[in-house]
């Protein structure tokens, strides 16, 4: 990973990595509040505004599906004419959604299901690292998660690794959550990387929220008042039942977390000792007399 000290940024030039949630189960359940077509209309207007703010701004869109992720748009690509880029994005997005739906039908999914957020975060960070190595002067990179699906506890380790990688590279992760309940993963991501977490109160005005909260470059943010993340849920998810827990057991070898005591770590295979609750306390042993 590129050392932080070797990076030089231009103040007002942005590299915006947009992670777009395309989970078909989420959008089919949320069509009454905001249809996917209306969501795309708001997002496209926002992306155009980013490119209009500075002619050298760069926007990359990564589709986050239920089973896969894919680059669907890159404003720096010369393969498509500028007047056809919106059509190209929509076509690639449609092809991706169809492919992802086919993969979803092959596997049984209970409820809405979690999108592959860990995969899209990793793809965004890999792209940013390639930009870091392309020359001495870089645009200021940031990640914007347009997400609505519930958290996937099975992705906890991968997502946290991506968050800490972004923190080390000084890449803020902004989150615009459009789901019913808040996302603990994205709250942690924005808090740790000094990004902005925001849940729009009215989805009909999504473009207005995007343009006022997430359109400004990182240099201009120091002069503005952005929404503060409050009530961040820092609980970890256990590896055995994928539930958020307050207290648990941690493997000293691989740091896997479990809500109950196990004889063996399911991740690395390390053998655990006896649970502390089964060991007689020292105070009870001292109370016993020699005759007992």
Return the CATH number at 71: 3.40.50.410
**Between 139 and 255, whose confidence is greater?**
139
Does pLDDT of 120 surpass 90?
yes
Output the average pLDDT for the chain: 84
**Between 11 and 136, whose confidence is greater?**
136
Does pLDDT of 7 surpass 70?
no
Is residue 122 included in any domain, yes or no?
A: yes
Residue 207's contacts (CB-CB under 8 Å, 6 or more residues apart) are 42, 45, 46
CA distance 103 to 118: 18
Does pLDDT of 283 surpass 50?
no
Does pLDDT of 237 surpass 80?
no
Are 158 and 112 found together in one domain? yes
Provide the whole-model pTM. 0.82
Are 189 and 240 found together in one domain? no
CA distance 167 to 9: 16
User: How many domains does the chain fold into?
Assistant: 2
Is residue 227 included in any domain, yes or no?
A: no
Give the single-character DSSP code of 292: -
**Between 288 and 170, whose confidence is greater?**
170
Are 268 and 194 found together in one domain? no
Are 180 and 288 found together in one domain? no
**pLDDT tens digits along 109-119:** 555 678 999 99
**pLDDT tens digits along 51-97:** 999 888 999 999 999 989 999 999 988 877 777 888 899 999 999 99
Give the single-character DSSP code of 267: T
- Where a domain ends, among 166, 193, 221? 221
Q: What is the mean pLDDT of residues 121-140?
A: 91
Domain limits for position 23: 8-221
The answer to whether 262 and 272 are in contact (CB under 8 A) is yes
- Residue 181, pLDDT score: 85
Are 209 and 241 found together in one domain? no
Are 155 and 272 found together in one domain? no
- Residue 273, pLDDT score: 75
**Between 235 and 20, whose confidence is greater?**
20
- DSSP 3-state assignment of 271? strand
Does pLDDT of 172 surpass 70?
yes
Are 142 and 246 found together in one domain? no
24: left (phi over 0), alpha (psi -120 to 50) or beta: alpha
Are 275 and 211 found together in one domain? no
Is residue 48 included in any domain, yes or no?
A: yes
Residue 187's contacts (CB-CB under 8 Å, 6 or more residues apart) are 175, 197, 229, 232, 233
As beta bridge partners, residue 250 has: 257
- Where a domain ends, among 221, 256, 273? 221
């Amino acid at each position: 990973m590129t050392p932080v000290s070797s990076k030089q940024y231009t103040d007002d030039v942005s590299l915006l990595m947009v992670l777009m949630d395309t989970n078909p189960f989420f959008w089919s359940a949320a069509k009454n509040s905001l249809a996917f077509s209306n969501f795309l209309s708001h997002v496209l207007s926002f992306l155009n505004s980013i490119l209009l703010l500075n002619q050298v701004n760069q926007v990359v869109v990564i589709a986050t599906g239920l089973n896969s992720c894919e680059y669907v748009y890159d404003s720096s690509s010369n393969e498509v004419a500028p007047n056809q880029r919106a059509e190209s994005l929509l076509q690639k997005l449609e092809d991706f959604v169809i492919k992802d739906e086919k993969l979803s039908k092959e596997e049984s999914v209970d409820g809405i299901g979690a999108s592959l957020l860990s995969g899209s975060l990793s793809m965004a960070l890999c792209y940013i690292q390639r930009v870091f190595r392309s020359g001495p002067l870089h645009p200021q990179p940031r990640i914007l998660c347009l997400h609505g699906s519930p958290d996937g506890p099975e992705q906890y380790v991968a997502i946290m690794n991506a968050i800490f990688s972004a923190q080390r590279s000084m890449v803020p992760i902004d989150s615009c959550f459009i789901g019913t309940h808040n996302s603990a993963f994205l709250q942690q991501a924005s808090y740790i990387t000094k990004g902005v977490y925001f849940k729009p109160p009215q989805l009909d005005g999504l473009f207005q929220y995007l343009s006022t909260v997430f359109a400004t470059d990182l240099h201009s943010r120091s002069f503005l008042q952005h929404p503060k993340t409050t009530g961040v849920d820092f609980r970890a998810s256990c590896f055995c039942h994928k539930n958020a827990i307050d207290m648990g057991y941690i493997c000293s070898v691989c740091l896997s977390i479990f809500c109950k005591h196990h004889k063996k770590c399911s991740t690395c295979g390390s053998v655990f000792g006896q649970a502390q609750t089964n060991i007689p306390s020292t105070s009870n042993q001292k109370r016993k007399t020699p005759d007992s």
